[in-house]
Amino acid sequence: MPTNSERRAAAKRNLDQQVQQRAEAARKQRRALMIVGAVAAVLLIAGVVFVVLRDNDPGNVNASGSSASNTSESADSADASGAPAASAGQLPKFTASPQLGADCQYPKARPATKAVEPPRSGKVPTDPAEVSVSMMTDQGPIGLMLNNGQSPCTVNSFISLAAKDFFSGTQCHRLTTSPMLSVLQCGDPAGDGTGGPGYEFDNEYPTDQYSLGDPAAQRPVTYPRGTVAMANAGPGTNGSQFFLVYKDSMLPPQYTVFGRIQDDGLATLDKIAAAGVQGGGDDGSPVTKVTVKSVRAD
């Protein structure tokens, strides 16, 4: 028979073992909670990136596919006024390179939604620096001033399409109303984000202000109210779709800025945006149907 001393020693060993087991169980629980927290953080970040960047895919802020990040939306990055946070970068200062407008190329892409000849390729003039354009819609005029001195290949394409009545009768198929992305997207003959002119061309300003591989080229910057920019499905896939920024919006500098909206155009856009998006969301077809009647160089 064990003595009292032996029984006490055995009980102490058993107690020590239980304490160790409980401590190990607690450590495992803490590790599990840390893993769950880390996974949740990764999923949250991935979700934000998806929301911000999904319009970089075709169909939204893009030129030939079907849904582009809402080119951005996280309420955490907006201030109380609904504008992007000041911490967002600004568009870079423009510096003209010797190659600007020297060799504009418009290679064939997916079949054209609306048959049209591509613009002339090769060297295009950068003078005049600005070109005035009148875009008439059934909701009112949208005057544009195109930045030929900054994005001449883009302006060359836009003016060529306008001269061929490519935009006439097309719908502005997408309206976004989130604090991070507030745009009206136009220029698609298909009316669903998949259409184009049958050719594509490279990005210009602001993408061309960054060196290849520069991580800053992927960080969101503020595209200010009044900006006219090309939609795309990735670098070098510009076609006919473009978007009009009616409130400061956050996007990576991967969308060619090629003009600004005149005051009459901003008034028209504000009216369209005020009516909202079909279904009550913040991204989709506008409640107010917008048909482009004509686009003409002044």
For residue 176, list its beta bridge partners: 283
Q: What is the DSSP letter of 212?
A: T
Q: In angstroms, rounded to a whole number, what is the distance separating the alpha carbons of residues 192 and 199?
A: 18
Task: Name the pLDDT band for 293 (thresholds 50, 70, 90).
Answer: very high
User: In the prediction, which pLDDT does 295 show?
Assistant: 98
Greater model confidence, 290 or 32: 290
Nearest Cα neighbor of 244 from 290, 298, 198, 194 is: 290
Q: In angstroms, rounded to a whole number, what is the distance separating the alpha carbons of residues 160 and 115?
A: 13
Residue 13, exposed/middle/buried by CB under 10 A (0-12, 13-18, 19+)? exposed
Torsion of CA 279, 283, 288, 292, to 10 degrees: -150
The answer to whether the beta carbons of residues 116 and 249 sit under 8 Å apart is: no
User: In the prediction, which pLDDT does 196 show?
Assistant: 98
Greater model confidence, 193 or 32: 193
Beta-strand pair 130-137/140-147: antiparallel
User: In the prediction, which pLDDT does 99 show?
Assistant: 95
The answer to whether the beta carbons of residues 237 and 68 sit under 8 Å apart is: no
The answer to whether the beta carbons of residues 260 and 144 sit under 8 Å apart is: yes
End-to-end alpha carbon distance in the chain: 111
User: In the prediction, which pLDDT does 11 show?
Assistant: 54
Q: In angstroms, rounded to a whole number, what is the distance separating the alpha carbons of residues 286 and 177?
A: 10
Greater model confidence, 18 or 288: 288
Q: In angstroms, rounded to a whole number, what is the distance separating the alpha carbons of residues 198 and 189?
A: 11
Q: What is the mean pLDDT of residues 205-212?
A: 97
User: In the prediction, which pLDDT does 79 show?
Assistant: 37
Torsion of CA 126, 128, 129, 132, to 10 degrees: -120
Condensed to tens digits (0 to 9), the pLDDT of residues 11-43 reads 556 555 655 665 555 555 544 433 334 333 333
* Residue 78: φ, ψ to 5°: -115, 150
Q: Which of 8-17, 137-146, 194-203 shows the lowest per-residue confidence on average (mean pLDDT)?
A: 8-17
Q: In angstroms, rounded to a whole number, what is the distance separating the alpha carbons of residues 168 and 138?
A: 11
194: left (phi over 0), alpha (psi -120 to 50) or beta: alpha
User: In the prediction, which pLDDT does 85 show?
Assistant: 40
Greater model confidence, 10 or 267: 267
* Residue 296: φ, ψ to 5°: -135, 140
Q: In angstroms, rounded to a whole number, what is the distance separating the alpha carbons of residues 297 and 160?
A: 10
Q: Which of 32-36, 96-100, 101-105 shows the lowest per-residue confidence on average (mean pLDDT)?
A: 32-36
Q: What is the mean pLDDT of residues 92-116?
A: 96
Q: Where are the alpha helices (DSSP H) in 87-234?
A: 152-163
Positive or negative, the CA dihedral 259, 271, 173, 250 is: positive
Task: Calculate what percentage of the chain has a pLDDT beyond 90.
Answer: 70
